[in-house]
Amino acid sequence: MRVHNLSKAPSILNSFIAEIRDINIQTDQMRFRRNIERIGEVLCYELSKTLDYEPKTVITPLGQSETSLYNDDIVLCSILRAGVPLHSGLLNYFDHAENAFISAYRHHKHDPESFEIIVEYLACPSLEGKTLILADPMLATGQSMVATFEALKPFGTPKNIHLVSVIGAQDGVDFVNNHFGADTHLWIAAIDPTLSDKGYIVPGLGDAGDLAFGEKLQQ
């Protein structure tokens, strides 16, 4: 797997990352969502450089212009609910892409520190021969990313696979590296060193879904 860690090069992206981590700024849900969206746009721009392009002639009022446009058939798939703002950022740039959505959550059977990933809802077009972009903002253990990909397999074999995350733990990066092919690309804004005992990224930012949309109802 090819890992593109954008935090290695200083850019405006670091400002967005700093704000979603900051416990004072992240209390503003609208700003948190917008920052995740902007991070998605930056990651999407970098990802776009690896797509296939073909020449195109554009007719203007005064003549014609030659350019190159990507010709990949793209399917964007996000993991609900935390993935929605990231998905929006990707869709802002790949506005002609098809879309897929999947719900995946951690199910704790008995031990609160162990869990399995449960997939409950899935809507997806055909993936056969297309470019799949799988978006999950927090790449913690990596289990939800792998479980999602396994659930997508009946929809066809993609030509290319790109994974997009905002923040990941090194353990999660290593886990997906062991489950995806060498030609898979991971685009990520920051990689943190470790996980907590409960499988959350440290230092991370907390629960991205809660910060974007409010705390879940406790049952």
**Consecutive 10-residue runs of the chain (219 residues): their mean pLDDT?**
96 97 96 98 98 97 97 94 94 97 68 60 95 96 92 96 98 97 97 92 94 77
Closest CA to 54 of 66, 42, 45: 66
Domains and CATH numbers, the chain: 2-213 (3.40.50.2020)
Cα 120 to chain centroid, rounded: 19
What is the structure's pLDDT at 174?
Answer: 97
What is the structure's pLDDT at 176?
Answer: 97
Closest CA to 21 of 32, 11, 12, 10: 32
What is the structure's pLDDT at 105?
Answer: 62
What is the structure's pLDDT at 121?
Answer: 81
| Amino acid at position 44, single letter | C
Closest CA to 3 of 190, 192, 186, 189: 186
Count of helices and strands (H, E) across the chain: 6, 12
What pTM, to 2 d.p., does this model score? 0.91
CA distance 158 to 67: 27
What is the structure's pLDDT at 80?
Answer: 81
CA atoms within 13 A of residue 164's CA, in its CB half-sphere: 33
CA angle 193, 198, 199 (to 5 degrees): 45
**Please, where are the H alpha helices in the chain?**
13-21, 29-48, 84-93, 143-152, 170-177, 208-213
Q: Which two tokens stand for residue 147?
A: 């479980």
What is the structure's pLDDT at 219?
Answer: 45
